[in-house]
Amino acid sequence: MSNGDQDLHSVLLDLGTRRDAGGGDEEGRRLRPRRRGHRLAGAGDAARGGAWEDARGTGARREDHPIITASQLAEADGILFGFPTRFGMMAAQQMKAFFDSTGGLWQAQSLSGKPAGVFFATGTQGGGQETTALTAVTQLTHHGMLFVPVGYTHGAGMFAMDEVKGGSPYGAGTFAGADGSRVPSDAELALAAHQGKYFAGTVKKLKAV
């Protein structure tokens, strides 16, 4: 998913590392992009939702980010999960399988109290922009994590009706198209950037308590 030299994945998760070599923003928040290692397979290559394989064009590629392991989740102060979707919820072979591997963290409640948010892309307008987030909350709940939605904090952009765009009060989103060829719009990227900053600010506040 790319748009010039930006993509939804990088705008949301790489806000800090784009600013300077130290990977921090103006308030000292450090963001560390991570990815899952498996390509999302589909019924056929022509309609597999290729946006989930990499960021196309000249944008930052998924492969530039290290592959995450379940144990590394415990090291984070807060986590934004990005979901590919299948039939209105997170893809099983990529993300649900990852959550299923966190049983040890669940048993120790290692993620309890950590803030978490979500973002996503779907192939169509009815592909699960809200149901993906709603069904993801069950994973967060069992871990005792604190769900941080973006709400309507992005202001007027959340109410604009002049274009087709992904995203919701649950989190940033984009429509990839049935063949994965659609790139995020400026409005979608703006919400993604806002969510990243908003989430990081919330994490900082909770850390200070």
Better-predicted residue by pLDDT, 168 or 43: 168
Neighbours of 44 (CB within 10 A): 8
Nearest to 13 by CA among 112, 118, 170, 138: 118
Domain positions in the chain:
8-208
DSSP state of 30: B
pTM (two decimals): 0.76
* pLDDT for the residue numbered 32: 61
* pLDDT for the residue numbered 36: 58
Which of 12-16, 128-132, 172-176 comes out lowest in average pLDDT? 12-16
CATH superfamily of 8-208: Flavodoxin domain (3.40.50.360)
The long-range contacts involving 163-168, CB below 8 angstroms and separated by at least 24 positions, are 163/187, 164/125, 165/191, 166/120, 166/121, 166/122, 166/129, 167/129, 167/191, 167/192, 168/129, 168/130, 168/133
